[in-house]
Amino acid sequence: MADTKYIFVTGGVSSSLGKGIIAASLAKLLQARGYKLTIQKLDPYINIDPGTLNPYEHGECFVTEDGAETDLDLGHYERFLNVNTSQANNVTTGKIYQNVIDKERRGDFLGKTVQVVPHITNEIKERIQILGQDNKYDIVITEIGGTVGDIESLPYIEAVRQLKWELGEHNALVIHLTLIPYLSAAKELKTKPTQHSVKTLMESGISPEILVCRTEHEINDDIRNKLALFCNVKKEAVIQSIDAASIYEVPGLMAEEGLDTITLKKLNLKDDVVPDLEKWNFFVDKLKNATEEISIGLVGKYVDLQDSYKSILESFIHAGAYNDVKVNVVWINSEETEHNEAIFKNLDGLLVAPGFGERGIEGKIAAVEFARTHKVPFLGICLGLQMAVIEFSRNVLMLAEANSEEMDPNTLHPVIGLMKDQKDLKQMGGTMRLGAWDCELQPNSKLAKIYGKTSISERHRHRYEVNNKYVEDLEKNGMLCTGRNPQTGLVETIELKDHPWFIGVQYHPEYKSTVATPHPLFLSFIEAAKKFHK
């Protein structure tokens, strides 16, 4: 194919309708027909990236192979497509304006007045097309964050209008995701909010070719005809997106509705291949028909917003399906676990989650101690590994004041410390150890057996490290540091010698778990929890 086609996914009526899931589901269906795709997210907020945002504000910060701190929707893109995303797949208003201002300061605009149109919109168009420049992809799907009508979204909508005009017929289309609310008092679905949403979009010069309608109830022909008439779309382009038990059922539902078929027709692309969804459907079938249930305690301090741990939750789903178990996640607030052992009983495994700052730390340490002393399968991720090292240092090495320099800069025993190149940093955003780093595993370690190899690469997002001065004492007493970064010598993994399954990793394995390739660490952890349950 000579030229890349572009699909834009906008949202109306309400936020949180699932634009990312619809974009990923359509991409999955087109990928299953042999097309090469990628998805990008345009976020209208002025932050440069989500790296400095509180998880309660924005949910999880997802990290790509090349070290970009991005929106959690990129996690969905990777999990559905099994294709890595990059810096180019997430763009924010902050990045757009920063780049335009940098150009103005350099004199790139030759003294012209810098304006939203054309300078900001040109920058947005450039960022949209960057993924299609080398013809690596047949189709680029661009999800535009926010809701149509939001003041901060206007430059993006204008950029899409211009691009549609510039690219010409059959080279770009707009899919508008909207809500069809059900009024229980009247016992009917209402189309008026969708009509207003499309009208708002049309006022900006864009007429969507496809409507995807989120609904709790089936949409009948009368409603489809009404939406088609008043929203200026074909009836076949009114797609129902009914609530599903799992996001992984959505591609199948979209296939039944013909979303991929109408998309190919609108883009003038071949529709002569039946989507190959055999592996996907195998996974969904296993997910629906799990024969057992296990309970995993997730210990964290952002548990009131489950999106804060989105990739971990999805990794549990992947690993659970392939272990024929349904994983029930028991949310444990780490600020409520100290001196409260009863909260950990009846669990088949414990995961101490990533995080930053000293709040809830003692509760995480208490969770580690329970898992270690009661032989409960344990996985510590990032800060979870660090808590495991602190707990072991305090209760086994008898270093009562062992701590992390993050929590206590003056601790007598800084078993977790700050790397030299991190000590003088003044800026917080984008300055951690980020993205893919190599790790060499000891040949006979539990981790090497889990991975089936000794050389691995995993994604990082952290600032503090295990202090190598304490490694010898840790290992003498049974905490083995079995994984190291070959360039820096920094500890990447720990495991306990006399425990059936106790592992901590400095990296984030959850970022690399997908439907097609569940992460081996999660597969092994859930398998161990299943055995413990019996």
Q: Is 373 annotated as a binding residue?
A: no
531 labelled as ligand-binding?
Answer: no
Spot the catalytic one: 119, 176, 460, 508.
508
Is 384 labelled as part of a ligand binding site?
A: yes
Residue 182 marked as a ligand binder? no
**Is 382 assigned a catalytic role?**
yes
Residue 487 known to bind ligand? no
| Contact by Cβ (8 Å): 29, 86 | no
**Residue in 61, 213, 231, 382 annotated catalytic:** 382
User: Per the residue annotation, which of 60, 213, 510, 519 is the catalytic one?
Assistant: 510
The answer on whether 73 is annotated among ligand-binding residues is: yes
Torsion angle in degrees (nearest 10) through CA of 448, 451, 453, 459: -100
Q: Is 19 labelled a binding residue?
A: yes
| Cα–Cα distances in angstroms (integers) from residue 77 to residues 114, 157, 311, 459, in the given order | 34, 22, 12, 17
* DSSP secondary structure, 353-382, as one string: PP--SSTTHHHHHHHHHHHHHTT--EEEET
Angle at Cα 124 formed by Cα 119 and Cα 127, nearest 5°? 125
355 is in an annotated binding site: yes
Is 56 annotated in a binding site? The answer is yes
Those residues with Cβ within 8 angstroms of residue 283's Cβ, 6 or more apart along the chain or in another chain: 248, 318, 321, 322, 515
- Is 210 assigned to a binding site? no
Residue 136 is labelled as binding a ligand: no
Q: Tell me whether residue 18 is annotated as binding.
A: yes
Task: Please report how many Cα atoms fall inside a 13 Å half-sphere around the Cα of residue 418, on the Cβ side.
Answer: 15
> Is 458 annotated in the active site?
no
Residue 508 is among the residues annotated as catalytic for this protein:
yes
Residue 146 known to bind ligand: no
Q: How many CB atoms lie within 10 A of CB 265?
A: 17
What residue spans of 189-309 are helical by DSSP H?
192-203, 221-231, 250-257, 259-266, 278-288
The residue among 212, 220, 203 whose CA lies nearest residue 240 is: 212
Q: Is 133 known as a binding-site position?
A: no
Helices (H), 374-492: 383-395, 446-451, 471-476
Q: Cite the active site residues.
A: 382, 508, 510
The annotated binding site for UTP is made up of: 15, 190-195, 226
The annotated binding site for Mg(2+) is made up of: 73, 143
The annotated binding site for CTP is made up of: 15, 150-152, 190-195, 226
The annotated binding site for L-glutamine is made up of: 56, 355, 383-386, 406, 463
The annotated binding site is made up of: 15-21, 56, 73, 143, 150-152, 190-195, 226, 244, 355, 383-386, 406, 463
